[in-house]
Structure 1
Amino acid sequence: MKSLQTRSACSGPGRSISFGLILFFILFSTSGFAQMQEQKIGIKGKVSTSDGHPAPYVSVSLGKGVGATTDQDGIYFISNVKSGNHVIKVSAIGLAAQQKAVFIPESGNLVVDFILKDDLNTLTEVNISRNRKKYKTDKPSASLRLNEPLLEVPQNIQVVSSAALADQQVISMSDGLIRNVSGAVRLEHWGDLYTNITMRGSQIQALRNGFNVVNSYWGPLTEDMSYVDHIEFVKGPAGFMVSAGDPSGLYNVVTKKPTGEQKGEFSLTTGSYGLYRGTLDLDGKLSGDGKLLYRLNLAGQNKKSFRDYEYNNRYSIAPVISYQIDKNTRLTAEYTLQHVEMTNVGSFYVFGTDGYAKKPQNFTQYAPGLAPTKIKDHSLFINLEHQLNENWKFTAAVAYFNYQQNGSSMWPSKVNADGTMIRSVSIWDAKSEMTMAQGFVNGSVVTGAVKHRILAGFDIGTKDYNADWGQSHELDTKENPFNNNDPNYGVPANGFPEFDRTTNLEARAIKAGGIQTSDYSSLYLQDELGFADNKLRLTLAGRYTYVKQSYYGTTSGKRVTPRIGLSYSIDKQTSLYGVYDQAFIPQAAGKLIGGGEVKPITGNNLEFGIKKDWGRDGNWNTTLAVFRILKNNEASATENSTPANPENFLLGQKRARGIEFDLRGEITPGLILTANYALTDSRVSKVGSDVPTSMNISKGDIIPGYAKHTSNTWLSYKLQGGALRGTGISAGFTYLKDRETDTWSESDVRLPDYFKVDGGLFWENNKLRINANVFNVFDKYLYTGSYYSYLSAFYWQAEAPRNYRVSVSYKF
C-alpha cells in the first residue's frame, strides 16, 4: 500500500406549519412593514443580540396567536393590538427568551426593543423559519470558536448543511459531499475507509467538534452522516482552531446535539449494489423541567459494490446527553461508536501496464476468501459552557478517541509486462489513541469608540498510533501469477495468509516500524477591533505552538505565529476582507532518503475576498476569494515509499495560488442552488538540496494531488402550490479539468478530465419525504489513479457506473 502525504425543519407537535406558508408569512411581514407602521395602534421594535447584531426571524408573541416575526434587520411590528396590559415574549434557539410587561395606549405605537444574549437553557417557545435558509448558514458553530457572523470573518469559510446532505443522499464523509465546496477533490479514494480531501494544493486537516482527529496518514475513519449536523470547511490556515494544521485548510465535522424539542425522524434507504440502510434520530427531554436533554442517533447499513466480492457493512451508535447545571452553565457529553466490516482495502485498486482503465469498470484483482477488515472506532466528547456574564463565555472540552483495526491490505509485489502479477497481502492491524483538551474564552469589551471581540485559549493533546504492517504473504507464484486477461478467483496458487497475532500489537508495531506519536500544546490570543460602529474590523492574533512527533526518529519544534486580518462591511450584506497568516507544522514523515532530520513546515498564507448576502432576507450568498500559500520543507514520498518503509525527501518550497467562488442558498422561493468554481495552481518554487536527482524535479513543476479546475453545481426546485405541491426535481454536476496524479510520476500519461452528472426527484410534506437520486446519469467510466515507476505499472480506482438510491423519511 502506498501512503498519500501530500438544522433541519422544526416539525414537532403543534408546529406543522408548511414551508410555503412560512415563506408567505415572512414575505408578507417584510413587504407590508411600511403599511403596518401606519396603523394607529401597535407595537414595534428591534430585537438584537448582545454583540450588537440584529436578530432576524425571531418569534415575538403576545399570546393567543397574536405576534410577529422579525425581519432580516431584527425589526418587528404587531398591528391591531387592543389597548391595555400585555406581556410580550421573545424567543429564539440559542438565545435567552425574554418577556416584558407593557401597557398599550388607545392610540399611537409603542416601541419595545429587546437585546437577547446567548442562552444555555432549553427554549420551550420556538417558532423560527429555519427552512428559509436550510442551505445557507450565517454563523459558524461554537467549535470554531469565532463568536461572529460568517459575513464578518476575514476568511473563506463554507458550510455544508444537514439539509444539503439529506437532499443529496450523502451517507458518509467520503460520499460526494465535497461537491458543495470549491476546490475540494479526492484523488486517492481509499474506498469508504478514509476521506483524505485535497484543497488549495494540499491534503487538509480533519476535525470533529473542533478537535484535530488526524493521527496517521490514513485517518480518520469516515464519519457516518447519521450523527452529523453539518460540516464546516475553513479555507486557508486556522490558527484560532488548531495548534498545528496545514495552511491549505481543514474541515470540521459538527455532530448533532439535543435541541430541547420532542421530535424524531426515521429513514430507510435502498439502492444499487445491495444497499440497505436505516437511521433513527431521537431528540427530547429526560426531565420535566427541561434541564436534562438527550439526542440519540442510530444507523445500520449493508452495502455491496459494482465490483464482485466487495462489501462495506457498518453500524453506528451516537448518544448525547446535555444537562443544564444552572442558568449559566451547561454540560454536554457525547459518545460515538462506529463498527465497520469490509473487504480488504486493496480490492479498490486495479493494476496494469498498458495505461489507465484498460479493463471493464467492474474488474477486480481481489482474492475472494481473504479475511475481512474489521474496525471499531470509539469517540467521547465532554463539553462545559459557562456564561460568565452578559459579554463573556468560557468553554472547556476534552475528547478521547480509540480506533482499533484488524485486517490487511493488498498490493502487488511485481507487475509483469504481459499483464500478469504477483499479488501480495500485508497485515494491517492498527490501534490509535488520542486524548485532547481545550479551553477558551469569548468576550467583548468597548474602549472608547473601539469594540473588541476577544478570543483566548489553549490546546493540549497526545496522540499514539501503532500499526503492524510488517508481515506479508504473496498470493501468487512465479509459475502461477494472477493474469488480468484470464483472472482466477479461486484459491490463489500460494494460498491465503496466516498472520501471526500471538504477540500484542504494540510489540509487533515496534518491530514493523509502525509507531507514530505526537504531543502538542499551544496558547493563543486574538483581538478583533471594531471601528466606525464595527463596520471596519482589524484582527490581530498570535499563537504559540510546541509539537513533538516521532516516526522513524523524533522531531520537535516551537514557534510563535502571527495572524492579521481586515474586514470591512460596505453595507449590511456585503463585506471585503484580507488575511495574512503564518504556518508552522512540525512533521514526522518517516525516513529521509538522504538522512538528516525532518524539518518543520513553515510558510505563510495571503488571502483576499468579498462576501455578499443576496435578496431582501439574505437567503443566498456568494464568496469570491484569491489566495497564495507558500510551504517550505514539506516532506514528500518517493515512488518506492511504503508504510513499512517510508522513503521521503524534503521538497524545498511549493507555492499554491488560485481563485475560488462559492454560491449557496435559496434564490427564489423553492429554488435552491449550490454552485462553485476553483482555479488552483500548485508548483515547485524552490528545489530542496536533498531532492534525489532520480526524481527529476525542477522549479515550476506541478505538485501532485489536485485538479487545476474544479466546478460543481446542485440545483433543486420544489413546487410551492397546486396539486403537486411539495414535488421537486434536483440535478447537479462535477467537472474536474487538468487532474494531477496523487504521486510524483515519470509517466507522461495524465488523468483525463472528469465529468459526472447526478439528478433526482422528491416529494415532501411536513412529516414525510420521499427522495430518489440517480448518480452518474450518463454512465461514464470515471476513475482516479497514478503511475508507479518501481512497479512499471499504472493503477486506477474506478467509480460506480450509473446507480440509484431511494429514501423514505418520516418525522414524528
Structure 2
Amino acid sequence: MPQFSFIHFSLTPLTRILRATALGVGLGLACGSTAVAQVSPSEPTSVQKSYHIPAGTLSQSLNHFASEAGITLSFTPELVEGKQAQELNGSFAPYSGLQKLLQGSGLETVIKSDGSFSLKLAVPVAQLKTVKVTAAAESDTSYSYATKTASIVRGAESLKEIPQSVTVVTRKLIEDQNLTMMSDALAKAPGIVATTDGMGNPEFRSRGFVIDNYQVDSLGTSYTSTYRPDFDLAIYDRVEILRGADGLFSAAGEPGGTINLARKRPTDYLSSSVSLAYGSWDNARIEGDIGGAIAFDGKLRGRVVGVWQDREFFYRPADEQKQVIYGILEFDLTDSTTISGGASDQKVEGVTWMKGLPTFDDSSQLGLPRKVALNLDWATRDTTVKETFLTIDHEFNDNWSAKLSGMKQRYDFDYIQLSLQGPVDKATGLFGELGAFSEDDGNHSEGVDLSITGRFQAWGYLHKLVAGIDSRSSHGKEMRNNFEVDFPNGEVGIDDFPGLELPAPTVGGYNHGWPAWGAEQKGGYARLNLQVSDSAHVILGGRYANYRDYSSYELFDGAGNLIASEKNGWREDGIFTPYAAFTYDLTPAWTTYVSFTEVYKPQNSFAGPAEDPTKLDPITGRNYELGAKGSVLDGALNLSVALYSIERDGEAIQDMRYGEGSNFWLPLGEIVSEGVDLEVSGELAPGWEIFAGYTYNRNENEQSDVVYSELTPKHIFKLWSDYTLPGDLSQWTFGGGVTAKSEHANSGTYWVMTDAGWTQPPFEIKQGGYAVWDARVNYQMSDSWNLSLNLNNIFDENYYATLGRPSDGNWYGTPRNATITLRGQF
C-alpha cells in the first residue's frame, strides 16, 4: 500500500509555554481591570420561549430573533431594506415570533422543506440572491456545515465562548456523507481515531487517550462493562465532541474527550421525511421521521423516528438486521415551563464476527482476502438498547432558567462466538488456540441532572453562571457459559477459510463471570463567567464529587454449581477538580483563550507492589489548552486552532521485579500528550461548504521513554467538501473528501499458551500511512425529493483500520463501496 510521509516537528516545550501563559494570565488578573459588559444571547430552543427584542431595523430584529430562537433564516437584503420592526415582548414559537416581527412590513414567513425559514413578499416578485442567517439550536437546525453553538457544556453555548476544542458533526454532514452510526460520525470528526476493540465494539481516541465520557442531550452516562453500544444516528440531530479533559461535567475518566449525542426534538410545524437507501453487500435501509404540533394550539408537540435495516458485510459469513423506534413529546405547561419525555428502542441481531484477525507468530499480518471472516453461521449476537428520558425546562425570567433531566438506559448483549486465536504458526498456518465462548452480558445506566443557568449584573458588569448537581450510575454483568465445540481433526488453519464447517455448539449453564459490577458518581459543579473588560472574561469553576465502584466474581463447576465467589468494592469521597480559563476578544469575530483543568481517574483494579498490595491511588494530572476561535466571510466560515498539553501522574506500570505477567503494579507512569488541533467548517462561497481538520499529536510515557498510545497517528487530516453548481445547474451538487493518517502501530505483550505453559511475549504490529478518498453526487429532483450517490474508498485502499494483537483484534478497513439514497422532505 502507498506510504504517506508527513512533516515531523517536536512540541516538547509546549507544556512550558502553556504553563507560562497560564501564569501570565494569572498575574494579569491579579493587577485588576475595568470593564463594560456585552450581553450574550439567551439559550436558544426550538419551543416557545420568552423574547425581549427592542424596536429597530427589521434586519437587526430578524438577526436577533434567529440567534435567540436557534433557527436558520434566509432572506434577501432588498426585502428588508428600510423597514422597521416593533418591539417584541412575550413567549413565542419560531414561526409565530417571525410573523409578529413582520407585521406591517408586507412580508410573510415561509417554512422550507428542510425545516429552515425564509421570507417573501405577500405579492410574488422575482427571486433575488439570498443571504443566510444561521444560529444553531438544541433541535435539528444544524442543516449546514457550520454551527454557532453546542450544548455539550450544559445548555446551548456559543462555540466561540467555550475555551476548549469542540467539533459539531451537523445533520447536514451526517446526511451528505451518509453516516448512519455514531462510529461513522466519529470516524469523520477531526482529531478522532475510531477503531474496533477486541470484542467488536467501537472505541474512540483523542489526543492519545480513550474517550470514555458520553452524554445524551448533555446528560452524562457511562459504560462500565466491556461492551459499548454503537447508536444509530437517525434519532439524533448532531454529534458534539469536546477534545481534552472535561473537568466540570465528566471529571473522572480518561482525558481524551467527551461525546454528546443531541436528540431530534419536535418542531412547532408539521414536518416529515423519508429515505430509502441501497448499497454494496445488500445493504438496504429505510428511515422515516415525522413531527409537529399535535394539540392545544401548538403547545403539545411530538416526533417519531423509525429505522429498518438489513445488511451483509464485506466479509462473510456476517449479516445484521436492525429496527429502531424513537418517540418524543413536548408540552408547554405554561409560557415559561416545558416538559418533554420520550423513549427509544434499538434492536440489532445477526451473524456477527467479533474477534477480528490474528497475525503470524512474527507479528506480520496474515494477508487473507478482505472478504474472509474467521467465522461460522451459528456465531450470532443479539443486542438491545432501550432508553427512556424526561426533561423539565423552566424560565424564571429573561435571565435565569432551570433544567431537570433524567435518563435510563438498558443495554443487553448476548452472543455465541467462535474463537480461533493466534498467533498463527507461519510455517504450518495453524491457529495457536481453538475455542468458542458464549456470554450473557449487559449494561444498565441511570443519570439525573439539576442545573440552573443565568446571567446577572454586578460591579457594573454582566456575568454568567451555570451550577448544578448530578448523579450517574452504571451497572454491568458479564457471565460466560459452558460451551463445547467439536473440532474433528483437533486443529484448524487459515487454509480452512473460507469453507470451514463445524457443528453447532451445545451451550450449558454458567462457567464463570461477573454477575454484577458497576460505578456510581454523585457531585456538584459550578462555572462562573466573569466579564472583566470590554474584551476579557475570566472563567472559574470546579466539580466536587464522590465516587464508588464494585464488582463480584463467581466460578462454577461443570455441573453449574457455584464453587467460588469474590466481591470487591472501592469508594473515594470529596474529590475536587478545578477549572479555570481566560478569554480575550480580539475582534467581534475572533477570540483567544487559555484553559486549565485537572485530571482524575481511579485505578483500584490494580494491586500495588507485593510488599504493600493495596489498591493503587488514582491517576491525577493536568490539562492545558491555548487557542483561538473565530469566523470570516461574515460569519459563514468557522476557524479554530489549539495547542494542548496533557500530563498524567501515577499511571500503573507492571512491577517487573516479579517478571513478565506480574499481577503487581507500581504507580510510576508519567504520561505526556502534546499537540495541535486545526479545524475549519462552514461556507467558503455561496453553495460551497467545507468541513476539515488537521491534528498533530506526540505522546509518551516519560518514565519508560516509549510511546503511550501508538494507535494514535502523529498526523491526521480529514476533509469533506460539497459544492452546488450555480444557475440553471443548481439542482446538481458534487462532494468529496479524504481521511489521511500517518504511520502508526500497536505493541506490548500478550498471553499465549506454549508447551512450557502460559507466557507473555512482546509484539509490534505496524500500519503504514494511508489515505482513503470518498465522493458524492446529489440531484435535487424537486423541492421535496433528492437522489444521491455516495462512493466510499473510491481507490479501494487496502489497509487495517484497527491494529490488535497477535491473538486477535486486527480489522481491515472497508473496501470500495457505494450507496444510492432517495430522500424526501415534506
TM-score for the superposition, normalised by structure 1: 0.79
> Which residue of the partner structure matches residue 31 of structure 2?
none
CA deviation profile, 1:488-532 (whole Å, cap 9, x unmatched): 63432xx4332225x7xxxx7xx4135321111011111000122
Paired residues of 2:222 and 2:445 also in contact (CA < 8 A) = no
CA distance in 2, matches of 1:613, 1:144: 21
Measure how far apart 1:622 and its partner are. 0.9
CA positional deviation for 1:147? 4.9
Aligned equivalent of 2:813: 799
Counterpart in the other structure of 1:531: 532
Q: Report the AA paired with residue 817 of structure 2.
A: N
Structure 2 residue aligned with 1:385: 393
Give 3-state SS (helix, strand or coil) of 1:303's partner: strand
Question: Which residue is equivalent to 2:778?
Answer: 762
CA shift at 1:809, angstroms?
0.3
Deviation at 1:158, TM superposition (A): 1.0
> C-alpha offsets along residues 265-315 of structure 1, whole Å, 9 cap, x if unaligned?
000010000100000010111104101100110001011011121112211
1:440-470 alpha-carbon deviations (Å, 9 max, x no partner): 0000001123221001001112221011136
How many angstroms does 1:547 deviate by? Answer: 0.7
Shift of 1:734: 0.6
Contact map agreement 1:263 1:283 (CA 8 A) in 2? yes
Q: Secondary structure at the match of 2:182?
A: coil
Q: Which residue of 1 aligns with 2:191?
A: 183
Match of 2:702, SS state, is: strand
Q: TM-score normalised to the size of structure 2?
A: 0.78
RMSD: 3.5
* Counterpart Cα distance in 2 of 1:774 and 1:366: 28
Q: Which residue of 1 aligns with 2:670?
A: 653
1:627 maps to what in 2? Answer: 644
Shift, 1:174, TM fit: 1.6
Q: Following the alignment from structure 2 to structure 1, what is the Cα–Cα distance between the partners of residues 529 and 95?
A: 23
Look up the SS of the partner of 2:464 in the other structure. Answer: strand
- Partner of 2:354, secondary structure, is helix
1:607-686 equivalent positions in 2, closer than 5 A: 607-616=625-634, 618-634=635-651, 652-686=669-703
Matched residue, 2:154: 145
Secondary structure at the residue paired with 2:173? helix
Say how many residue pairs are matched: 703
- Work out whether residues 251 and 577 of structure 2, in 8 Å CA contact, stay in contact via their aligned partners in 1: no
Work out whether 1:484 is the aligned partner of 2:494: yes
CA distance, structure 1, for counterparts of residue 77 and residue 418 of structure 2:
59
1:506-525 aligned at under 5 Å gives the runs 511-513=512-514, 515-525=516-526
- Contact residue 432 and residue 463 of structure 1 kept, 8 A: yes
Structure 2 gap segments, 5+ residues each: 1-55, 106-114, 120-131, 135-140, 553-567, 657-661, 751-761
Answer whether contact 2:374 2:420 (CA < 8 A) is retained: no
The share of aligned pairs that are identical, in percent, is 19
1:707 matched to 2:690? The reply is: no
- Three-state SS of the structure 2 residue aligned to 1:165 is helix
Where does residue 461 of structure 2 map in the other structure?
A: 450
Alignment match, 1:27? none
Task: Please tell me whether residue 779 in structure 1 is matched to residue 796 in structure 2.
Answer: yes
Picking from 441, 445, 464, the partner of 1:430 is 441
After superposition, the Cα gap between the structure-2 partners of 1:284 and 1:706, relative to the gap in structure 1 and judged at 3 Å, is same
Of the candidates 361, 364, 381, which is equivalent to residue 373 of structure 1?
381
- For 1:47, what is the secondary structure of its paired residue? helix
Cα 1:237–1:785 shift into 2, 3 Å: closer
Q: Counterparts of 2:443 and 2:645 in 1: how far apart (Å)?
A: 34
What secondary structure does 1:578 align onto? strand
Q: How many angstroms does 1:214 deviate by?
A: 2.4
Deviation at 1:247, TM superposition (A): 2.0
Distance 1:678 1:519 in 2: 34
- Post-superposition CA distance 1:602-642 (Å, at most 9, x none): 111000001110102x1111110010011233457999xxx
- After the TM superposition, which residues 718-729 of structure 1 pair with which residues of structure 2 at under 5 Å, given as runs? 718-722=724-728, 724-729=729-734
Distance change >3 Å, CA 353–CA 235, structure 1 → 2: same
1:194 equivalent in alignment to 2:194: no
**Deviations, residues 178-205 of structure 1 (Å, cap 9, x unaligned):** 35432101233569x6321100111112
Deviation of residue 254 (structure 1)? 0.7
Deviation at 1:59? 6.8
State the shift of 1:742 in Å: 7.4
- Corresponding residue number in structure 1 for 2:407: 399
- In structure 2, distance between residues paired with 1:260 and 1:726: 29
In the TM superposition, 1:20-169 aligns within 5 A as 46-47=60-61, 78-79=81-82, 93=94, 99=100, 130=134, 134-141=144-151, 144-169=153-178
Contact 1:546-1:557 at 8 Å conserved across structures: yes
- Kindly indicate whether the alpha-carbon contact (under 8 Å) linking 2:142 and 2:171 is maintained by their aligned counterparts in 1: no
1:408 matched to 2:419? The reply is no
Task: Provide closer, same or farther for how the CA distance between residues 681 and 779 of structure 1 changes in structure 2, counting only shifts above 3 A.
Answer: same
Contact 2:736 2:774 in 1 (8 A): yes
Cα distance between partner residues in 2 of 1:799 and 1:732: 16
In the other structure, the counterpart of 1:563 is 579
Name the aligned partner's letter for residue 487 of structure 1: F
Tell whether 2:578 aligns with 1:572: no
| Aligned equivalents of 2:517, 2:608: Cα separation in 1 | 16
Matched letter for residue 796 of structure 1: N
Q: Corresponding residue for 1:596?
A: 614
Deviation of 1:653 after TM superposition, in Å, equals 2.1
Q: Which of 520, 542, 554 is 2:569 aligned to? A: 554
* More moved, 234-243 vs 87-96: 87-96
Relative distance call for 1:554 and 1:95 in structure 2 (3 A) is farther
In the alignment, is the contact (CA less than 8 A) between 1:87 and 1:102 conserved in 2?
Answer: no
The answer to whether the Cα contact below 8 Å between 1:57 and 1:70 also exists between their aligned partners in 2 is no
Deviations 1:710-734 (A, max 9, x none): 1111111111311x22201111111
Residue equivalent to 2:21? none
Q: How does 1:277-292 map to 2 (within 5 A)?
A: 277-292=285-300
Give yes or no for contact 2:671–2:708 (8 Å, CA) kept in 1.
Answer: no
Whether contact under 8 Å (1:189, 1:195) holds in the other structure is yes
Shift of 1:475: 5.4
Asked whether the 8 Å contact 1:186–1:196 carries over to 2, the reply is: yes
In the alignment, the residues of structure 2 paired with residue 430 and residue 395 of structure 1 have an alpha-carbon distance, to the nearest angstrom, of 34
Indicate conservation of the 8 Å contact 1:294/1:319, yes or no: yes
Cα shift readout 1:68-123 (whole Å, capped 9, x = no counterpart): 7799xxxx954378xxx98989977499669589999xxxxxxxxxxxxxxxxxx9
Contact 1:608 1:625 in 2 (8 A): yes
Query: Are 2:222 and 1:214 equivalent residues in the alignment?
Result: yes
State the AA in 2 paired with 1:621. Answer: N
Contact 1:202/1:705 (<8 A) preserved: no
1:649 deviation in Å? 7.1
1:345·1:408 contact (CA, 8 Å) conserved in 2?
no
CA deviation vs aligned residue, 1:2-30 (integer Å, no higher than 9, x gap) = xxxxxxxxxxxxxxxxxxxxxxxxxxxxx
Report what 2:544 is aligned to: 544
SS in 2 for 1:607: strand
Shift of 1:793: 5.1
Distance 1:416 1:794, change over 3 A: same
Aligned match of 1:63:
none
Are 2:253 and 2:602, in contact at CA under 8 Å, matched by a contact in 1? no
Deviations along 1:13-67, one digit per CA (max 9) or x if unpaired, are xxxxxxxxxxxxxxxxxxxxxxxxxxxxx9557439999989998879xxxxxxx
The alpha-carbon deviation at position 590 of structure 1 amounts to 6.5
How far apart in 2 are the matches of 1:49 and 1:342? Answer: 50
Counterpart residue type for residue 489 of structure 1: G
